[in-house]
């Protein structure tokens, strides 16, 4: 009787997908480090390059058609556009998701470039790639950023003047920031005039500049971004909020679903569940901080005493309850801001007419809240 020995059948191994040659570029203000790896992991080049248009163009032209991986930061918008113009396949890593770099025990520019190269070559999805807004949107957004800086500086000066007046037994006028300089000057004593008059003049000049920027923003909405008029149908959404929303997202087609906008702007809670533990955490605060703040301000108006009756208001008031719980009020405010972002994106995508009580009509619940 013959025995047949078991034999191992070797299946053919299919060749792996060809990985691209990848350039990892760690950006710095003056000199950036780079490393180039072939698809099989062989290092082809490594070194430094000046962070200037001419030198970076030479580097990108040398590796035209390859993948370049950079980390999002101050230089990444213009460098990513430059690399794209030179024929590179650009991957912009999200620094919030690359803790191998930020929390490394041996962090150097050289090792950062090597790590970006390795991750970008093998699995760029691990870098959670982001997309920068267009150059035109970035330029127009600087107008809003300049206004925001002026408003913050003016607020700081007004608070300083109020504090000085209070410490000398004088009462600062209760008025808007636009007319503060004029009214505060009327209550200055002779002893404080030398110290505070220059500050009031600065406040007056800043107010004039802010009004000028407001006019430019309104003209920009009408002339270059008419979709903002559709978004301004929502109570609490004016030229500033609508224009910042359009410029921040840049292209409504970037999102498959309007619900993704809430996550993009950092208005969804963090998730850290494990086993039976599923704690309720704060929002992620990812994305553009200025846009998130404007949405919360708009949500405050919707939930405030002057907010008109609408689906957003009814939803927020239901979450806030009787209004005595401050935590519930904060959660309601963030929830309304998130729903507002989703609604604005939906209106942008469809260019439709806003119905403030659409959900109530759909359910047949038009009773007064």
pLDDT in tens, 329-355: 999 999 999 999 999 999 999 998 999
**What number is the average pLDDT over the span 251-274?**
91
The residue assigned the tokens 């803790």 is 99
Residue 88's closest CA among 20, 170, 15, 16? Answer: 20
**What number is the average pLDDT over the span 245-255?**
94
**353-359: long-range pairs with CB below 8 Å, 24+:** 353/233, 354/230, 354/233, 354/234, 356/234, 356/235, 356/308, 356/309, 356/310, 356/311, 356/312, 357/309, 357/310, 357/311, 358/311, 359/311
Residues 153, 248, 245, 349, Cα dihedral to 10°: 180
What local confidence, expressed as pLDDT, does residue 2 receive?
43
**What number is the average pLDDT over the span 70-88?**
96
Q: How far apart are the first and last CA of the chain?
A: 90
Q: Whole-angstrom Cα distance, residue 232 to residue 245?
A: 11
What local confidence, expressed as pLDDT, does residue 322 receive?
79
What local confidence, expressed as pLDDT, does residue 78 receive?
97
Question: Where is mean pLDDT largest: 18-22, 202-206, 272-276?
Answer: 202-206
**What number is the average pLDDT over the span 58-67?**
96
What local confidence, expressed as pLDDT, does residue 77 receive?
96
Q: Which helix (H) or strand (E) holds 94?
A: none
Residue 162 has pLDDT above 80, yes or no: yes
Q: Whole-angstrom Cα distance, residue 2 to residue 24?
A: 61
What local confidence, expressed as pLDDT, does residue 263 receive?
93
Q: Whole-angstrom Cα distance, residue 187 to residue 193?
A: 10
Average pLDDT in the chain: 90
Q: Report whether 174 contacts 118 (CB < 8 A).
A: no
Q: Which residues pair with 22 in a beta bridge?
A: 37, 67
Percent of the chain with pLDDT over 90: 75
Q: Report whether 161 contacts 199 (CB < 8 A).
A: yes
In this structure, is the dihedral angle defined by the CA atoms of residues 359, 365, 367 and 369, taken in order, positive or negative? negative
What local confidence, expressed as pLDDT, does residue 71 receive?
94
**363: pLDDT confidence band, cut at 50, 70 and 90?**
confident
Neighbours of 258 (CB within 10 A): 18
**366: pLDDT confidence band, cut at 50, 70 and 90?**
low
The two tokens of residue 229 are 């008029």
Per residue in 25-42, pLDDT (tens digit) is 999 999 999 999 999 999
Give the phi and the psi of residue 274 in degrees, each rounded to 5: -155, 120
Residue 367 has pLDDT above 80, yes or no: no
**358: pLDDT confidence band, cut at 50, 70 and 90?**
confident
**161-169: long-range pairs with CB below 8 Å, 24+:** 161/196, 161/199, 161/200, 161/203, 164/192, 164/195, 164/196, 165/192, 165/196, 168/192
Residue 13 has pLDDT above 50, yes or no: no
What local confidence, expressed as pLDDT, does residue 100 receive?
74
Q: Whole-angstrom Cα distance, residue 173 to residue 193?
A: 16
Question: Where is mean pLDDT largest: 121-135, 219-233, 276-290?
Answer: 219-233
The two tokens of residue 89 are 């396949």
Residue 323 has pLDDT above 90, yes or no: no
Conformational region of residue 250, where left means phi above 0, alpha means psi within -120 to 50, and beta covers everything else: left
What local confidence, expressed as pLDDT, does residue 333 receive?
95
3-class DSSP assignment, residue 356: coil
Maximum C-alpha span of the chain: 121
């Amino acid at each position: 009787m013959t025995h047949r020995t078991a034999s191992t059948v070797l299946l053919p191994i299919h060749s792996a997908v060809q990985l691209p040659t990848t350039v990892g570029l760690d950006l710095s203000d003056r000199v950036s480090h780079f490393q180039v790896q072939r698809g099989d992991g062989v290092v082809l080049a490594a070194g430094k390059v000046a962070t200037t248009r001419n030198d970076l163009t030479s580097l990108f032209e040398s590796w035209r058609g390859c993948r370049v991986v950079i980390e999002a930061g101050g230089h990444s918008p213009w460098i990513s556009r430059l690399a794209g113009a030179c024929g590179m396949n650009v991957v912009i890593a999200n620094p919030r998701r690359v803790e191998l770099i930020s929390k490394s025990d041996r962090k150097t520019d050289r090792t950062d470039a090597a790590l970006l190269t390795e991750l970008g070559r093998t699995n760029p999805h691990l870098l959670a790639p982001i997309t920068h807004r267009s150059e035109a949107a970035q330029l127009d957004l600087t107008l809003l950023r300049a206004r925001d800086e002026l408003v913050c500086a003016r607020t700081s000066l007004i608070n300083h003047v109020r504090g000085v007046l209070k410490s000398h037994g004088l009462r600062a006028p209760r008025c808007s920031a636009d007319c503060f300089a004029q009214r505060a000057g009327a209550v200055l004593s002779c002893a404080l005039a030398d110290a505070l008059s220059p500050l009031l003049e600065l406040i007056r000049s800043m107010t004039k500049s802010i009004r000028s920027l407001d006019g430019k923003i309104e003209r920009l909405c009408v002339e270059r971004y008419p979709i903002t008029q559709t978004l301004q149908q929502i109570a609490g959404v004016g030229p500033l909020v609508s224009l910042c929303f359009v410029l921040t997202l840049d292209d409504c087609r970037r999102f498959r679903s309007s619900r993704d906008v809430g996550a993009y702007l950092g208005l969804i809670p963090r998730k850290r569940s494990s086993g039976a533990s599923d704690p309720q955490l704060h929002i992620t605060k990812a994305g553009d901080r200025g846009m998130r703040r404007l949405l919360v301000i708009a949500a405050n108006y919707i939930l405030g005493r002057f907010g008109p009756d609408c689906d957003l208001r009814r939803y927020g008031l239901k979450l806030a309850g009787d209004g005595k719980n401050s935590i519930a009020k904060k959660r309601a405010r963030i929830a309304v801001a998130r729903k507002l972002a989703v609604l604005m994106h939906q209106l942008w995508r469809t260019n439709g007419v806003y119905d403030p009580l659409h959900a109530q009509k759909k359910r047949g619940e038009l009773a007064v809240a």
